[in-house]
């Protein structure tokens, strides 16, 4: 089979046909315009407006000053793998050893490594939506089918019908992707949901890729339930995590995964052929973040909780607005009655109110009709942006 498509009209050689169907992110369609404008409050990306804490930056600076500028081991420097193993074991109710940790250059790259490991053309992976678009597109980049199941949107919030999900699996299903707490809805899988998913995956020989980058951001408990709380070391489970959200390190590009030990060799090999290793000075910063960052994680979570409640109180009461207070992550996913083109509305709100939001349509089926707002910013800035956004919504922006 010819998997190549003729090159563009420029006369360049062919590229993989699979890539023709890959859309660029619609979040960028709004932010690309907004970034050229003055006075915009950007709430479109999934990041805080706080710079990385000093103790993290200082650790990286010290490492550079020491001359740690060389290649290092594929799976991560032993000190960081040990630190992460201790961190995970402390959070979960069981021991997780460093031999199960692979350091990556972001949560994003961990997701891509998992897709490269499990999927090829003809396979499928089940992914719930709305979801961060990258979780769908990485399946498609592998030439596999993304089987999308919509979360149900009720007055009490979002839920996932597991029986429906199980019925979608067939003999070519290689992975189930679960992002909890979820970007953009905040949906958070219960421990019972996770137990059922794990049991199904074990029985059917299907991998679970659990994206737990928001696991510390649960507003209903100390932290969200994790598959790692209940999984055995040899379960078909890969858990993706990131330094971006907990320690305000989006620009550093550092993440990790927890995998069954026999799979770590495969991931380590793939790290070599993707990015070879994470920079050592970034890994040193990661160690400082984990070892000294608990107060920072607690303070930022308290800020996000206050912000979350402010968004809910300010917007949920507006006529035509539908939203439940999200139980996790740091986004409000705002349903607006009658809105059929969230991209156009996000652009209009940007031009008229200088508030930068992400269109719900960027997040796959079930996302249209919504706008995503990231509330991980300083409260006064958020409050002023909410005044302007509320004015648009009250005036019936759709």
In angstroms, what is the minimal distance from the CB of 397 to ligand PLP? 26
Structure tokens at 381: 């800035």
Q: Which is nearer to ligand PLP, 375 or 397 (CB)?
A: 375
In angstroms, what is the minimal distance from the CB of 134 to ligand PLP? 7
The answer to the question of residue 242 lying near ligand PLP (CB under 6 A) is yes
The answer to the question of residue 283 lying near ligand PLP (CB under 6 A) is no
> Considering only 91-99, 102-110, 170-178, 264-272, which stretch makes contact with ligand PLP by CB under 6 A?
102-110
Q: Please list, residue by residue across 69-82, b when 16 or more beta carbons sit within 10 angstroms of its beta carbon and e when fewer do.
A: eeebbbbbbeebbe
Interface size with ligand PLP, residues (CB under 6 A): 13
The answer to the question of residue 244 lying near ligand PLP (CB under 6 A) is yes
d(CA 66, CA 314): 50
Cα separations (Å) of 393 from 15, 30, 353, 381?
A: 44, 18, 11, 18
In angstroms, what is the minimal distance from the CB of 244 to ligand PLP? 3
Among positions 129, 194, 250, 353, the unique one binding ligand PLP when judged by CB under 6 A: 250
CA geometry: angle 189, 310, 216, nearest 5 deg: 35
Among positions 34, 46, 328, 366, the unique one binding ligand PLP when judged by CB under 6 A: 46
Alpha helices in the chain (DSSP H): 26-34, 54-65, 78-91, 107-118, 134-141, 162-167, 191-204, 261-274, 280-292, 294-315, 342-353, 379-394
The answer to the question of residue 108 lying near ligand PLP (CB under 6 A) is yes
Q: For 328, list phi and psi in degrees, rounded to 5.
A: -155, 180
In angstroms, what is the minimal distance from the CB of 5 to ligand PLP? 28
The answer to the question of residue 246 lying near ligand PLP (CB under 6 A) is no
Binding positions for ligand PLP, 325-384, rule CB under 6 A: none
Q: Contact at 8 Å (CB) between 238 and 68?
A: no
Burial class of residue 293 (count of CB atoms within 10 Å of its CB; 0-12, 13-18, 19+): buried
Structure tokens at 395: 């005036």
Q: Mask of contacts with ligand PLP, 175-214, x by CB under 6 A? A: ----x---x---------------------------x-x-
In angstroms, what is the minimal distance from the CB of 95 to ligand PLP? 25
- Return the SS3 of 181: coil
Name the residues that contact ligand PLP, by CB under 6 A.
46, 106-108, 132, 179, 183, 211, 213, 242, 244, 250, 255
């Amino acid at each position: 089979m010819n998997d190549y498509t003729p090159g563009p009209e420029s006369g360049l050689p062919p590229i993989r046909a699979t890539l023709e169907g890959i859309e660029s992110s619609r979040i960028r369609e709004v932010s690309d315009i907004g970034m050229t404008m003055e006075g915009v409050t950007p709430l479109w990306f999934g990041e805080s407006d706080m710079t990385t804490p000093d103790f993290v930056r200082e650790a990286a600076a010290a490492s550079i000053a020491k001359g740690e500028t060389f290649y290092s081991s594929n799976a991560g420097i032993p000190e960081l793998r040990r630190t992460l193993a201790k961190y995970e074991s402390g959070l979960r109710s069981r021991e997780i050893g460093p031999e199960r940790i692979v350091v990556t250059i972001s949560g994003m790259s961990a997701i891509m490594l998992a897709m490269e490991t499990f999927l090829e053309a003809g396979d499928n992976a089940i992914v719930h939506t709305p979801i961060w678009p990258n979780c769908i597109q990485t399946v498609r980049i592998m030439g596999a089918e993304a089987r999308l199941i919509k979360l149900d949107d009720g007055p009490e919030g979002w839920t996932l019908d597991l029986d429906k999900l199980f019925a979608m699996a067939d003999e070519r299903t290689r992975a189930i992707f679960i992002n909890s707490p979820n970007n953009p809805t905040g949906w958070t899988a219960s421990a019972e949901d996770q137990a059922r998913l794990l049991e199904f995956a074990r029985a059917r020989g299907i991998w679970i890729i659990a994206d737990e980058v928001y696991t510390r951001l649960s507003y209903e408990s100390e932290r969200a339930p994790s598959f790692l709380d209940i999984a055995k070391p040899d379960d078909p489970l890969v858990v993706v995590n990131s330094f971006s959200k907990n320690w305000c390190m989006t620009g550093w590009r550092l993440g990790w995964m927890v995998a069954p030990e026999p799979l770590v060799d495969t991931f380590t090999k793939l790290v070599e052929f993707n990015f070879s290793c994470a920079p050592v000075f970034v890994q040193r910063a990661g160690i400082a973040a984990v070892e000294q960052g608990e107060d920072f994680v607690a303070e930022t979570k308290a800020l996000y909780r206050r912000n979350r409640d402010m968004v809910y109180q300010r917007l949920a009461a507006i006529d035509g607005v539908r939203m439940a207070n999200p139980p996790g992550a740091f986004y409000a996913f705002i349903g607006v009655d009658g809105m059929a083109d969230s991209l156009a509305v996000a652009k209009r709100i940007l031009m008229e109110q200088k508030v930068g939001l992400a269109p719900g349509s960027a997040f796959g089926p079930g996302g249209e009709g919504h706008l995503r707002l990231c509330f991980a910013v300083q409260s006064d800035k958020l409050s002023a942006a909410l005044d302007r956004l509320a004015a648009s919504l009250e005036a019936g922006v759709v």
